[in-house]
Structure 1
Amino acid sequence: MDYQDILVNLKKKIYHPVYFLMGEESYFIDQITDYISKNVLTDAEKSFNQHVLYGKDTDVNTIITHARRFPMMANHQVVVVKEAQNIKKIEELEPYIKAPLTSTILVVNYKYKTIDKRKSFAKQLAKSCVLFESKKIYENKLPAWINSYLAAHNYSIAPQAAAMLAEYLGTDLGKVSNELNKLIITLPEGTKIAPDHIEKNIGISKDYNIFELQNALSERNVLKSNQIINYFAANPSSNPITRTIASLYYYFMKILTLHFLTDKSPNAVASTLQVAPFFVRSYMDAAKVYNPKKLVAIMEILREYDMKSKGFGNVSTSAGDLQKEMIYKILH
């Protein structure tokens, strides 16, 4: 079952005896666990029938003992096991998984890793309970996720604003959702969120950000590029050189890929480069400015400054000055 299927069933009060939630992305695991913890039992029922165990402080036998208890004055009891990745020999849960107590809802949080799917324990989990793998979202999918999250709360967002958030917040969905919730609390329902809203409420500059730097470079706008990189140099904590280099590398790599596409229709370009259709025109324009030879040279520049930022071939130049040098070489 995927995340949405699990939540739909929970909201319909379709419960399963065991939920084994694993994977690198903790956000979905936390959302499922929180929903079960908050909604299966009433506040009065929780006192006797809801238990939280922690992997560092428990073992398989303790979990099974709790899970085999019958609820008191309720239809269900809920047992949540957090940090289950720290439990030794968790596969010894298998006998309980084969024959769980149907009045118990056992929720196992196995975060930041997965169990070996080749072993019998994993096969039994897949057969007998809800086995959910929470995977990290790819960076190119993040703007769409932001759109979906806001739409569920009756908000929308401009493509530029979604790109700004995706670029600066990264793929930690817990962090992203926290920032989106700030916007939801602050702005009237139904608002279309624009870069101005992002700047005012989250603190990401709408004029001096990596997205605007890419646009300036794509036009070979020397003045604007220098203004932005000077801003980065003056604010290194919020604009680290490593992030600048990584973002520019993927940006210019997409432009290089575009040069060699046989089908350069907007839909084909958007699909191949994995960008929103809204941004295709800017990539097409950038490809006219930078030929493949120059793009290969830019890749070498970015690699050079990646090494320098890590101390190789650089003793005393600051990260801010390195960024300025790098942008100069890209533009000239």
Structure 2
Amino acid sequence: MNCNFVFSCCVIWLKGKIKLSEKKEIESIYNIKKYLQDDAILPIYFLFGEDSFTINNVIKIIEKKIIPLVTADFDRESTTLTKDSSISQFIDLAYSFPFGNGKKLITVRNFEAINDKKLLLNYIKDPAEFTVLIIAQYSKSAPLNQEPYKSLFAKNYIFEAREMRANELSEWMFKKAKVEKLNLSQAAGQLLLEMVGESKAVLEMQLIKIATYSKPGEEITPEIIKNLAEITKEYTIFDLQNALGNGNKEKAIEYAFNLIDSDGNKMTLIIAMLTKYITNLTQILGITNDAEGVKAIGGSYYFAKKITYLRNENRLANAAKALLEADIRLKTTTIDNKTNLSILIAQILK
């Protein structure tokens, strides 16, 4: 199995497919306030993408706007879908008349879990005038040539929460650090990104923790970040990546289980970050020049170049296959996360 194949598999898994023509662009979730004007409240707000942190924050923004229009507590509903759920579970609620004389507010999460997505089409064509329906889909798959996404797009009801690029995430982190009154050095910020990955929720949690333990006005250096991780006895995705990269199965299991047990770190995030890690290692195979390495994968090259065990084409191909199988198990079976992780690590390091 060649290097290009491994890289292509990883990139496809990470990015998904949003099939847009050059003339079509799905509205960004960051522009949601334009669609919350008093005289232009939408009947449906369909939020999708893998940036669950932003999706959940925008749900709060929409709810804050609509709740004053809801006059009865019974007219507020929230549901989380599973693979056994159906569209009618919330559509029937949306069409039923409100108890009060105001709006109904229904929030639906995990739309990606259900199979009968096309059945939403009838409601999109004829939504209840008294209901505001918020639907969250925590995945990137929203092909505009398929229903219900095609009609959602035509009605301007769909909003994308795309993942931030590395430079955008870094900019967001430093702005958030200022809000927390942290003097975060560039080197410390880079290390923090490497340690916790690209989840804004986890980054925010870590910044709050740093603010709690650090002194007012103190410059936050990489040493402080490392010491804080030891003090709080927390492991990060960075630790797990290093353990796998250097073939340390015992440590990889320890770090992985710690991540599963800690808040904000779920199996989906772990698989996503490990897949990106394997993609990065694949991109720098054969690269020995630091400038070329940084150009290929950014500042993470300085950490990646120290890896020993996984800097091998066959092992990377095996790791990519193991990650795909772990993702399939996660989505199609009831296997518990620790068992899934144990199998994944064993397959990567076999």
Name the TM-score class by shorter chain: 0.5 to 0.7
Aligned length: 262
For 1:41, the equivalent position in structure 2 comes to 67
Give the alignment's TM-score, normalised by structure 2: 0.56
Q: Deviations over 1:40-71 (max 9, x none)?
A: 31599562221012323642223222112344
For 2:47, the equivalent position in structure 1 comes to 21
For 2:92, the equivalent position in structure 1 comes to 65
Is residue 79–residue 109 contact of structure 2 (8 Å, CA) maintained in 1? yes
CA distance in 2, matches of 1:24, 1:143: 18
Q: 1:166 Cα shift?
A: 1.0
Q: Do the aligned partners of residues 190 and 12 (structure 1) sit closer, same or farther apart at CA in structure 2, a change above 3 Å counting?
A: farther
CA distance in 2, matches of 1:3, 1:85: 18
For 1:131, the equivalent position in structure 2 comes to 158
Is residue 24–residue 134 contact of structure 1 (8 Å, CA) maintained in 2? yes
Q: Are positions 1:114 and 2:141 aligned together?
A: yes
Q: Do the aligned partners of residues 156 and 104 (structure 1) sit closer, same or farther apart at CA in structure 2, a change above 3 Å counting?
A: farther
Q: Do the aligned partners of residues 32 and 54 (structure 1) sit closer, same or farther apart at CA in structure 2, a change above 3 Å counting?
A: same
Is residue 109–residue 135 contact of structure 2 (8 Å, CA) maintained in 1? yes
Which one scores higher on RCO, CA 8 angstroms, separation ≥ 6? 2
Q: Are positions 1:53 and 2:79 aligned together?
A: yes
The code of the aligned residue for 1:35 comes to: I
Q: How does 1:307-318 map to 2 (within 5 A)?
A: none
Q: Are positions 1:199 and 2:232 aligned together?
A: no
Q: How large is the RMSD of aligned CA atoms in angstroms?
A: 4.8
For 1:171, the equivalent position in structure 2 comes to 198
1:106 is paired with a residue of what secondary structure?
A: strand
CA distance in 2, matches of 1:10, 1:44: 15
CA distance in 1, matches of 2:157, 2:73: 26
2:150 is paired with a residue of what secondary structure?
A: helix
1:52 is paired with a residue of what secondary structure?
A: strand
Is residue 24–residue 112 contact of structure 1 (8 Å, CA) maintained in 2? yes
Q: 1:203 Cα shift?
A: 3.8
Q: Are positions 1:302 and 2:311 aligned together?
A: yes
For 1:258, the equivalent position in structure 2 comes to 291
2:56 is paired with a residue of what secondary structure?
A: helix
CA distance in 2, matches of 1:16, 1:161: 43
Structure 2 counterpart of 1:150, from 177, 194, 205: 177
For 2:13, the equivalent position in structure 1 comes to none
CA distance in 2, matches of 1:135, 1:203: 33
| Greater C-alpha radius of gyration | 1
Give the alignment's TM-score, normalised by structure 1: 0.59
Structure 1, unpaired ranges of 5+ = 212-228, 260-268, 284-294, 311-318, 320-332
CA distance in 2, matches of 1:7, 1:196: 40
For 1:315, the equivalent position in structure 2 comes to none
Structure 2, unpaired ranges of 5+ = 1-26, 239-244, 257-273, 320-344, 346-350
For 1:84, the equivalent position in structure 2 comes to 111
CA distance in 1, matches of 2:99, 2:46: 24
Q: Deviations over 1:226-257 (max 9, x none)?
A: xxx99x99966559xx89x9677767877637
Is residue 282–residue 313 contact of structure 2 (8 Å, CA) maintained in 1? no
Aligned sequence identity (%): 20
CA distance in 1, matches of 2:170, 2:313: 30
